[in-house]
């Protein structure tokens, strides 16, 4: 909290109070804070990396406070002893910018993904999501975490379905993958626990249906098994794992509107009500939570 206060030019008391109110989260896995997946780096003492000089069009004050990875040889070599520089996300502090990267079955080079991380950090990204769906996902994820000074997020369900159909996803696989990624040092998880079985009929009148990949995968699972969303049913167990490693929830908007015509419809509002309940459950379990959204919304509906 002191480090976030320093970066935000705010008082530690303000940061503390906002975290206590649930209006500010600090995604900071204890293993990412420790550096190199929580293990002592084998490469010796932590090296000092100069902050990259940003181009003139990048806010210089913002650029100067980014601990950007600068040494290309380190990026492409052994695991770097990088540690997380904590970042706060909340309404009372500066707006944060997230960058999305990810390998696919067509392009799945770990070196390329780490290079993307380097550019994201150099140009001022505050957080980064690894949305990889191809290649060695665990190795790629670990390399990204090991070289990141900004919070790293993932969508665990993407890894859960590698080598299997979504219909074959089991509760044991879900919990094992969540714990695996938490142990690696992921700082925040997108979990689509708000899409409930009873919400699915509300999607019928939509123009674009379900546009969230995680939401559509879980909808298919529910329709196949005739059961409730497994992420919802396992929410307490997932929360227990996340609390152990201090992973933050980024509750996924699985029913976000994919076009203006679907904005603020019954399906979206039903999920939002469920997400509100899940935020309270996460806080009660000692887990920080933020909520994704809102999809495609007309300007007159933006508060």
- Domain boundaries in the chain? 17-154, 156-303
d(Cα 223, Cα 229) in Å, to the nearest integer? 10
d(Cα 184, Cα 203) in Å, to the nearest integer? 36
pLDDT tens for the 303 residues of the chain, in order: 999 999 999 999 999 999 999 999 999 999 999 975 444 333 334 333 333 444 444 444 444 444 433 443 333 334 445 699 999 999 999 999 999 999 988 887 899 999 999 999 999 999 999 999 999 999 999 999 999 999 999 999 999 999 999 999 999 999 999 999 999 999 999 999 999 999 999 999 999 999 999 999 999 999 999 999 999 999 999 999 999 999 999 999 999 999 999 999 999 999 999 999 999 999 999 999 999 988 999 999 887
Instruction: Kindly calculate the radius of gyration of the chain based on its CA atoms and give it in whole angstroms.
Output: 19
Cα separations (Å) of 230 from 108, 153, 196, 235, 266? 29, 21, 9, 8, 22
Q: Please provide the CATH number assigned to the domain covering 156-303.
A: 3.20.20.540
The dihedral region occupied by 37, where left means phi > 0, alpha psi between -120 and 50, and beta the remainder, is: left
Instruction: List, in sequence order, every residue forming a beta bridge with 189; answer none if it has no partner.
Output: 154, 249
Cα separations (Å) of 37 from 34, 40, 143, 303? 7, 9, 10, 40
What global pTM score does this model have? Answer: 0.85
């Amino acid at each position: 909290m002191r480090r976030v206060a320093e970066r935000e030019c705010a008082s530690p008391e303000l940061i503390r109070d906002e975290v206590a109110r649930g209006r500010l989260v600090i995604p900071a896995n204890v293993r990412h804070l420790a550096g190199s997946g929580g293990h002592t780096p084998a490469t010796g003492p932590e090296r000092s990396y100069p902050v990259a000089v940003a181009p003139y069009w990048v806010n210089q004050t913002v650029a100067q406070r980014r601990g950007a990875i600068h040494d290309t040889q380190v990026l492409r070599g052994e695991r770097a002893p990088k540690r997380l520089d904590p970042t706060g996300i909340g309404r009372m502090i500066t707006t944060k910018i997230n960058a999305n990267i990810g390998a696919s079955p067509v392009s799945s080079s770990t070196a390329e993904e780490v290079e993307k991380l380097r550019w994201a950090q150099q140009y001022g990204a505050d957080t980064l999501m690894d949305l990889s769906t191809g290649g060695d996902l665990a190795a790629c994820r670990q390399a990204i975490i090991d070289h990141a000074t900004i919070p790293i997020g993932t969508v665990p369900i993407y890894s859960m379905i590698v080598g299997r159909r979504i219909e074959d996803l089991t509760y044991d696989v879900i919990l094992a993958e969540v714990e695996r990624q938490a142990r690696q040092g992921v700082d925040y998880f997108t979990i689509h626990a708000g899409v409930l079985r009873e919400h699915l009929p509300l999607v019928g009148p939509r123009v674009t249906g379900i546009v969230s990949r995680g939401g559509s995968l879980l909808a298919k699972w529910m329709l196949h098994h005739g059961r409730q969303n497994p992420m919802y049913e396992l929410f307490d167990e997932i929360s227990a794992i996340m609390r152990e490693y201090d992973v933050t929830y980024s509750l996924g908007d699985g029913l976000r509107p994919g076009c203006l015509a679907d904005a603020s419809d019954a399906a979206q509002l039903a999920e939002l009500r469920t997400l509100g309940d899940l935020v309270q459950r996460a806080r009660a379990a000692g887990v920080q939570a933020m909520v994704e959204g809102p999809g495609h919304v007309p300007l007159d509906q933006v508060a």
